[in-house]
Amino acid sequence: MRFTSSATLQTLRGFELSPRAITIVPKAAHYRQRLLDMIAAAERRIVIVALYLQQDEAGQEILDALYRAKAARPVLDIVIVVDWFRAQRGLIGAGKQPGNSAWYCAERQRQGLDVPIYGVPVQTRELFGVLHLKGSVIDDCVIYSGASLNNVYLHKFDKYRLDRYHLIHSKPLADAFQGLVQHVLDSKAANRLDLPSPPTSRSLRADIRQLRTSLKRMAYETFQASDSAEGLRVIPLLGVGKQNPLNRTICQLVAASHQRLTLCTPYFNPPRVLIDEINRALVRGVVIDIIVGDKIANDFYVPPEQPFSVSSVLPYLYEKNLRNFAQKHQQAIAERRLNLFVWNDPGHSYHSKGIWVDERYTLLTGNNLNPRGFRLDLENALLIDDPKAQWAAERDQELEQIKQHVSRVEHFDQLQAFDEYPKRVRRFLQRVRFTRIERLLYRML
C-alpha cells in the first residue's frame, strides 16, 4: 500500500486545544513527582494504564499514593489497568517469581480499601501480543507517556530510562480515554488481579479471542471532537492487528512530510511498509532524522561478562538492522539528507518513541514502530496537529532535550559488525539463520 497525500490526516476528528493545555515534563524524576502530586490532588477520577506496575520502591510509592487518595476521598473513582500476562510472571532472567499480581493482592488486604487492579490479555499468549496502551487520566488531564511504573522508568534511584512525558488538559479527551478503558474492561477477558484466585489464562481463551476481535473495531469516542483542521487539536488513535487505523496514520504521516521528518524508536526494526515510506521521503528530498538507542542503552542489553540469555541478543539484532540500513543509505548520510542519531547516556537506557513531521504534526505514542507494534500489541497514540505553529517552541524544545546525549553516525562502519559481537551472540544468530527462523523472529520483535 502506498500513501501519497496528507488529506486524510486533515479529516481526522480531534479535540481543540490551546497551547497552554499541553505541558511537557522534561525528565523522568520530574514526571514521577508530578504523577504523585496529581494523584494526591485528584478529586473525581484516576485511571492508570500501563504495561506493568512493578513491585519495587517506585511502584510501591505509586500504589501507596493511590490508596492514600482513596482513603482521603472514598468517592474517588480509581482504576488501574495492566497487561494480564506481564503482571503474573517475574522479570526476564530473574528466575521463578510470583509476579506483581501476588503483590497487588497482598496490598489490597493490607490497605483494606478497594482500588481495583485489572489485567487485560489481548492475546492468548504474551508472546503474541500485550496491552501496550499508554495514557492515564486524573480528573480532566490526560497523562501520556510510554513509561511503565518502576524504579528505572521513574528514575527513583541512580538509573533512568528516557521516555516522553506529556500532560494534556482536556475534559473531552479525558472522557474519551476513560470511555475506551471502560469498553475494554467490560470484556469477560478483563479480570481483577488484586483479588485472590483469578481465573486461569487457559479458561479465558475464548473470551480473549472475542476481546481481540472487538478491539479491531473499537475506537475512541469523538462525538465531542471537531472536524476542523484550522487550529491546534489532539487526535486520539487506537490500533491492533494488521492495517489498523494507527498503522495507517503512522505511514500517512511519513508520506505527508515535505521538508523534515524525525522518528524516535528504541528498537530499530521498522516494518516493510514504514521502510518503504521512509525511502520515498528520501527520494522526494525530505531531510530525515532517526533517533535510536545505542545497543548498550537498550533495556535488554546484558554486558558480555554477565550470563548469556536469549533476550540479551535483541540489542545486537537492532544494531544489525541499523547498520544494514545505514550501509544502504550511506550516500544520503554523507549528504546529510539522512541523519542517524544514536542515544547513549552511560549507565542509563532509552525508550523514547514518536514522529515529528515538518512544522505541523507531532505523534505521541508507545508504538515502537516495529512489526510487533504494527501487528501484535494493542497500541494507541495522540496526534497533535498544529497548522498555525502555535506550539512550535515547546515542540522544538522537547526534541532538543531528546538529542542531548546523541551522536551522529557519519559512516555505517561506526556501528559494530557481526564478527565483532560476543561469541555467544554470534553463535545464536548463526543458529537462527541456519534454521531459517530469522524472518519470523524479526516479525515478533
Q: Which residues are catalytic?
A: 132, 163, 351, 379
CB neighbourhood size of 353 (10 A) = 26
Q: How far is 65 from 111, CA to CA, in rounded Å?
A: 12
Radius of gyration of the chain (CA): 21
d(CA 73, CA 61): 18
- How far apart are the C-alpha atoms of 12 and 204, rounded to whole Å? 35
The secondary structure element, H or E, covering residue 325 is helix 314-328
Q: Which helix (H) or strand (E) holds 338?
A: strand 338-343
Helices (H), 336-415: 371-375, 392-402
The Cα–Cα gap between 187 and 211 comes to: 6
| DSSP notation for 15-29 | EE--GGGEEE--SHH
CB-CB contact of 125 with 85 (8 Å) = yes
For the record, the C-alpha cell of 333 comes out as 548520510
Distant-in-sequence contacts of 95-104, Cβ < 8 A, 24+ apart: 100/52, 100/53, 100/54, 100/55, 100/59, 100/193, 101/193, 101/194, 101/198, 103/55, 104/53, 104/193, 104/194
Are 306 and 289 contacting, i.e. CB atoms less than 8 angstroms apart? no
Residue 404 burial (CB count, 10 A): 9
As a whole number of angstroms, the distance between CA 372 and CA 353 comes to 14
Burial class (CB in 10 A: 0-12, 13-18, 19+), 195: middle
**Residues near 209 by beta carbon (within 8 Å), at least 6 away in sequence:** 124
Instruction: For residue 119, give every residue at least 6 positions away whose Cβ sits within 8 Å of its Cβ, in sequence order, or none.
Output: 82, 83, 84, 85, 87, 88, 101, 190, 191, 192, 193, 198
Query: 106 to each of 112, 194, 256, 352, how far by Cα in Å?
Result: 10, 8, 51, 33
Nearest to 74 by CA among 97, 30, 42: 42
| Of 117, 57, 129, residue with least CA distance to 87 | 117
